[in-house]
Structure 1
Amino acid sequence: MQRWREKDIWDYVEQEEIPYNNLYKMNILQTYPKKLDILMKNNESRLIELEIYVNELLNEQIQKVKRFQAIFLESIGFKIFTPRTGCMMCPFPVKHGYMQWMRLNHEKVYNAIKREIGWDKVILMIQPIKQQSIEVLIGSKMIDSNKKFLIHEGGVS
């Protein structure tokens, strides 16, 4: 077990039907690779074996995959965000897709964090990210008013 890779661990988990935290079923496909049609054709049998719908993947309609599926997709060029099992409201992984993941999987918690706690404003203070990136992460348009960013609740268009 000392030399096991993550793939080996997930193969074993699946083989032995070991229960695991549902967070590992919520990996987000952040970026689809170029030449997707060629990748799908070359890996079709493995994708089917992993229970990934090839046509949906080809049409970029899949957003969430299980961890063992994500490991394979990463190996062929997909960019994947994998949630962690730490504190749900910690803002530090925001630049890695955490806000996007929260919005897709835990909308009520996301809205509470954003509106009630003011997490979106905290992000502006602690993360040196471009405005457009922040808008995508928080799902809202930012308006520059008197040199202070305000969050427009209408969302990003």
Structure 2
Amino acid sequence: MDAQRLTMRRRRMDAYRALSTTNTRINKADVLRFEAEHKTSTLAEKENRALTLIDEAITQTVERYGSNAKIVVSCSFGVDSVITLHLVKRVCDMRNIPFDVVWNNTLNEYPQTRLFAKKLTADWRLNTIEALPTTTIRKIYDEHGVDSLLKRKGDRSNGQPVVEKCCNALKHAPMQRAIKEHGWHLMFNGVRAGESRQRWMSARRDGDYYYSSGTWKTWVCRPILWWTALADSFNYGNNRQEDVWEYVRKHDIPYNTIYDMNAVIDERYDCPTVIIDRVTAERLSAEGYNVFMPRTGCQACPIPIKRGYLRYLREVFPKVYRAMLFQLGFARVLIAEIPEDQRVALIAELSSFGVITEKTEAAILDRLEDVIEFKPCVFDGVGVSKRK
């Protein structure tokens, strides 16, 4: 390593050495500097910096807590989490330092995620601990009902939306209990700024290594915070290079098969909707087609509806689709979300074919099974943001 690069590396790490449980974040100027550096960095440079940051975070943790230091990787078994896990494992294996893996199993996961978690735990000999909720998604919706399936988390215009209550009960509370129970002093995660505007704002607020005095009450390190992917939904001025999947290819890392279960949901596509692999999905998306590319996380969740999730579920996971409509009560709200002119036309069509006897929304709910059999695609376009 030449003198200039060594000086830069030391300067980066110096930014973190003043951190404490009272001085919880690095300077804003340093956060912006690190963000700017990553915008023009190669994957190799980002990888080296991630390994250095991980090593520094572990060193500080051992200095603070001695031989009792407990380290954990929060892993959803999505690609970002697995990359972070791989990076941490490289450092810990080299230093002979043990660590845990915590999986926030919401009991609402894709079957592909459950299988992959089990296999990777065995193949990499991980000490995987499941953080489990004390309730179920069904109980949450039974208790709180369904407000608007299109409201974002954080939208408090009419109180806390049920989707936020669901996330708190199935994800945040179990993780908080697990951290307290196991006493982890340092937690790594695979959050990236390019995933959404909210995560970019969080990245600028907290940086890639900080003490969470509020939510988690432990040290948090996000080594791939400024890595990018071509499929990112938010571009904050980065070079939009493919760091994520290039790292997977470079190190031959296994990944969750849900990433190869993408579907074209675009009327302009003259082929039948089929499950396509990730590479094909990214190519078609770049060409301007609407392609639903699933991510790990809760399967029965309304948040991705704007990306065409209802049609995707109906065609790829029909049992989950029906459970959302009937058991969770999404159908009533979905009918209300249909634009008025389309809803009037739908009621007229159903009435003319004798599917319903009264021209009302209540009649649709009363005969929902028949409605779906007659018109399977009835909810496909509800809430979908059209690509231009």
TM over 0.5: yes
Distance 1:114 1:3, change over 3 A: closer
Distance 1:117 1:33, change over 3 A: closer
How big is the alpha-carbon RMSD for the aligned residues of Structure 1 and Structure 2? 3.2
Q: Is 1:81 matched up with 2:296? A: no
2:255 counterpart letter in structure 1: Y
TM-fit CA distance, 1:88: 1.8
Q: Is 1:114 matched up with 2:353? A: no
In the other structure, the counterpart of 1:123 is 334
Q: Is 1:147 matched up with 2:360? A: yes
Distance 1:68 1:155, change over 3 A: same
Preserved CA contact (<8 Å) 1:28 1:64? yes
2:360 counterpart letter in structure 1: K
2:252 counterpart letter in structure 1: E
In the other structure, the counterpart of 2:271 is 60
Distance 1:4 1:110, change over 3 A: closer
Greater length-normalized contact order (CA 8 Å, ≥ 6 residues apart): 1
Q: Is 1:94 matched up with 2:313? A: no
1:28 counterpart letter in structure 2: A
| TM-score, normalised with respect to structure 1 | 0.60
In the other structure, the counterpart of 1:18 is 253
Quote the Cα distance in structure 2 between the aligned partners of 1:97 and 1:17: 31
Q: Is 1:29 matched up with 2:264? A: yes
TM-fit CA distance, 1:144: 8.3
Which of 264, 283, 302 matches 1:72?
Answer: 283
What are the superposed Cα offsets for residues 90-144 of structure 1, whole Å, 9 maximum, x if unpaired? 223223211111112222222222222222113234x354449x9xxxxxxx858
- What percentage of aligned pairs have identical amino acids? 27
2:307 counterpart letter in structure 1: H
Quote the Cα distance in structure 2 between the aligned partners of 1:109 and 1:70: 23
Distance 1:95 1:145, change over 3 A: farther
Preserved CA contact (<8 Å) 2:259 2:293? yes
- Relative to its length, the structure with more strand (as a share) is 1
In the other structure, the counterpart of 2:375 is 156
**Gaps (5+ residues) in structure 2?**
1-45, 47-225, 231-240, 347-354, 377-388
1:94 counterpart letter in structure 2: I
2:263 counterpart letter in structure 1: I
Quote the Cα distance in structure 1 between the aligned partners of 2:333 and 2:306: 13
1:147 counterpart letter in structure 2: T
Distance 1:5 1:116, change over 3 A: closer
In the other structure, the counterpart of 1:5 is 229
Quote the Cα distance in structure 1 between the aligned partners of 2:314 and 2:249: 28
2:361 counterpart letter in structure 1: K
Quote the Cα distance in structure 2 between the aligned partners of 1:115 and 1:32: 27
TM-fit CA distance, 1:17: 2.8
Give the match's secondary structure for 1:28: strand
Give the match's secondary structure for 1:101: helix
1:90 counterpart letter in structure 2: C
Quote the Cα distance in structure 1 between the aligned partners of 2:335 and 2:305: 11
Distance 1:144 1:16, change over 3 A: farther
